[in-house]
Amino acid sequence: MIFYFSGTGNSKFVASRISKKFGDEVISINKLLKEGGGSTFKSEKPFVFVVPTYAWRIPRVVEDFIQKTSFEGSQKVYVIMTCGEDTQNGIGWARKLFSDKGLELVGFAEVVLPNNYLLMNEPLPDFEEAQMIVRRALPQIDEIGNLIAEGKDFMMVPPHGLKGKLQSSVVNRLFYSLLVKSKGFSVDETCNGCKKCNRICPLNNISIVEEKPIWGRDCTHCMACIARCPKEAIEYKKITNGKTRYQFSNALLKD
């Protein structure tokens, strides 16, 4: 089973591509969370998780999902973390997370794909740059798929050292406590009330009041609502004004 969590499509794309190598079932954690959360899953093949990197770790909503979910059959796990730059000590925290579940991390890889985090004071890649980043990642993604299909162990991550440990622990905690807020989201006059943001929010955090979205407090900054709004009507404070929205599309794969 291949589980993925994805706000703007990078991790979904990787999960779908590697599934073609060995024909395993692809399961959306977004959908499971939206429908209420964990359950019991059984597989004789190793479990595969494809997730984005949030402050150099697996997103907390995914960690919570894994902790509350039972995994039976195989005791082996592969983790692929998509990222804009690196995962630092994400591997250490992933190993501990699954060890606590009685599962062994036998494969880990970080795959660099276009950055989608709009809330930093830096521009996102334009289409041409995003296309180059995606194409550069394809051989690695295919290699990962082949290795999983062959049942091989792998660790595709550079050494992280003390800096990586600090970023994946101390900085990660600061990121969530100081930055991961939904209070800054709003819509401008171009919002047409399509309700897409409400439908795609994995945490059911967006309500529609008088045809306009209202954000609750349970936000994970997955960027699904702001990046996938068809009118680009959603903003976060003044940080996102005029910024390119990124979401994965098959157009990035075309010549």
**What are the pLDDT digits (tens) for 174-194?**
999 999 999 999 999 999 999
Question: Are 89 and 114 within 8 A, CB to CB?
Answer: no
**What are the pLDDT digits (tens) for 50-73?**
999 999 999 999 999 999 999 999
The DSSP bridge partners found for residue 235 are 186
Tokens of 11: 């991790």
SS3 content of the chain, % helix, strand, coil (to 5): 35, 20, 40
**What are the pLDDT digits (tens) for 122-154?**
889 999 999 999 999 999 999 999 999 999 999
If pLDDT is split at 50, 70 and 90, which confidence band does 99 have?
very high
Strand pairing report for 212-215 and 40-43 = unpaired
User: DSSP string covering 216-253, please?
Assistant: -S------HHHHH-TT--EEETTTTTTPPP----GGGG
Domains identified in the chain and CATH numbers: 2-176 (3.40.50.360), 182-246 (3.30.70.20)
Residue type, 122: E
Residue 89 makes CB contacts below 8 A (sequence gap 6+) with: 56, 57, 160, 164, 165, 167, 168, 169
